Amino acid sequence: MKALIDRLAGGEILTLEQWQGLFERRTPQDEIYARNLAREICQQHYGRKVYLRGLVEISSICKNDCYYCGLRRSNAQCQRYRLTPEEIFESCREGHALGLRTFVLQGGEDAWFTDARLCEIVRRIRRAFPDSAITLSLGERSRESYQKLFDAGANRYLLRHETADETHYGQLHPPELSLSHRMDCLRALKDVGYQVGAGFMVGSPHQTARTLAKDMAFLQEFRPHMVGIGPFLPHHATPFRDEPAGGLQDTLFCVALTRLALPEALIPATTALATLEVSGRDAALLGGANVIMPNLSPAGVRKKYLLYDNKRAFGSEAAESLRLIHRALAQIGREMSLSRGDHISIAAKEEHT
Ligand code: 5AD
C-alpha cells in the first residue's frame, strides 16, 4: 500500500475503492509509513508548531438524542449545567491572560443560547480580545444564525460530520437527524466564510472500511480547514454502553491519512484519543496532528461535560495544563504556539489586507 499512500501524499484524489482498500489491507508497516509521511508533510506547512485552543464547555444541555453521546437528552443521569455569559467571558479572559489566542465555545444544542444571546457573548469576546480567534462548536443551526454569529465576530466553527454514509448516520442518530441536513450546515458554514471543522469518530458501532472510505472521500472533496478525529468511547448511560471502544492504531491511521489528504489542515490530538491511551496524544502529534485543546471550563463543571466515560483531564486548572503541555511538547521535539494558528490560506489572506 506504500505506493498508494505516496500517491495520496502527492495530491491524488483517491476513489472509494482505493480508500476502502487502504483500510482493509494496510499492514502495521503501512501505518508507520503513513504516520512518518504525515509528520513530514505537517512540518513542511506548519513547522514544529503545535497550536493551542482554549476550550470552554458552555452547556451540557442538549436537545438531541445521539446514541453514542453521554449528553443525549435521554440520559437522566447527566448533570446538566449552563455557564452564564459572565462565566463564559471570564473563562476566555483567564485563557487570554495565559496567552491563548483561540477560544472554542463548545456545547450541546441548548435552546437557551438564542442568536441574540450568543451574538452578545461573541461580540463581547471580540471587543475585549480583538487579537483572538473565536471558534464555535454548538451544533446545527440555521444559515441565518451562522451568519449573525459570524457578523458578531466568530471566525471558526466545528461541526463533525460524524459519518459520511447515510445508513451509518442513521445507525448513530435518531430519525429526526439526517446526514443531508448535517452536510447543508457544513456547506452553509463555509459559504458564510468560517474556517470550518469536520470530523468523525473511529470505531463507532456499525462503522466499516466502506464507511471510513466515504469519510475520507468526503474530506478530500469538502476540504475542511480543521478535522477532529477521535476514537469512539462508550458511555455507560447510552444505548452503545456495551460497544467496544475504537482502536488506537486505527485512529492514528485515520489522523495520518487526513494529514496526507489535507496537507494544510489543522488537526487536533483529541481528548478522546488521550483518554483511550495517554500516549495517544503524543503519537497523534508525531503522526500528523498539530493542535491541542486545553480545557478552560470552570473546574466545577468539567465532570459534568461527559460525552464518554473516564474523560481524561490534563491538570486541574488552565495554567497548569499549559505548563504540562509545554513540557510534553518539548519532550517530543515540538513547540507550543500561542498564536491564533489560522489555516494557512486564511493567514496568508490576512497578511495581504
Ligand atoms: N466517544 C467519542 N466521541 C464522542 N463524541 C460524542 N460522543 C462520543 C463518544 N461516546 C464526539 C462526536 C461529537 C464530538 C463533540 O464528540 O463526534 O461531534
pLDDT tens for residues 98-154?
A: 999 999 999 999 999 999 999 999 999 999 999 999 999 999 999 999 999 999 999
Task: Find the CATH number of the domain harbouring 81.
Answer: 3.20.20.70
Query: How many structural domains does the chain have?
Result: 1
Q: Do 340 and 132 meet the contact criterion of CB atoms below 8 Å apart?
A: yes
Containing domain of residue 87, as a range?
2-351
Q: What pLDDT is recorded for position 353?
A: 44
Rounded to the nearest whole angstrom, what is the distance from the C-alpha of residue 352 to the centroid of ligand 1?
37
Nearest CA to ligand 1 atom 14: 160
Ligand 1, residue 245: give the atom nearest the CA.
1
Reported as a single tens digit per residue, the pLDDT across 230-272 is 999 999 999 999 999 999 999 999 999 999 999 999 999 999 9
Question: What totals of helices (H) and strands (E) does the chain contain, helices first?
Answer: 15, 9
CA torsion angle for 45, 47, 48, 53 (degrees, to 10)?
Answer: -60
Enter the pTM of the model: 0.97
Which of 179, 229, 307 most suits a substitution to test ligand 1, by most atoms within 8 Å of the C-beta? 307
Rounded to the nearest whole angstrom, what is the distance from the C-alpha of residue 72 to the centroid of ligand 1?
11
List Cβ neighbours of 3 (8 Å cut-off, separation of 6 or more).
none
Distances from the Cα of 96 to the Cα of 218, 226, 306, angstroms: 35, 22, 25
49 phi and psi angles, rounded to 5 deg: -70, 140
Which residues does ligand 1 sit against, CB inside 6 Å? 68-69, 160, 162, 201, 230, 232-233, 235, 272, 307-308
For the beta carbon of residue 330, count every other beta carbon within 10 angstroms.
11
Based on the number of CB atoms within 10 Å of its own CB, is 121 exposed (0-12), middle (13-18) or buried (19 or more)? buried
Reported as a single tens digit per residue, the pLDDT across 326-350 is 999 999 999 999 999 999 998 777 6
- Residue 92 grid coordinates: 476566555
Which among 258, 172, 269 has a CA at the least distance from the CA of 215? 258
pLDDT more than 70, % of the chain: 99
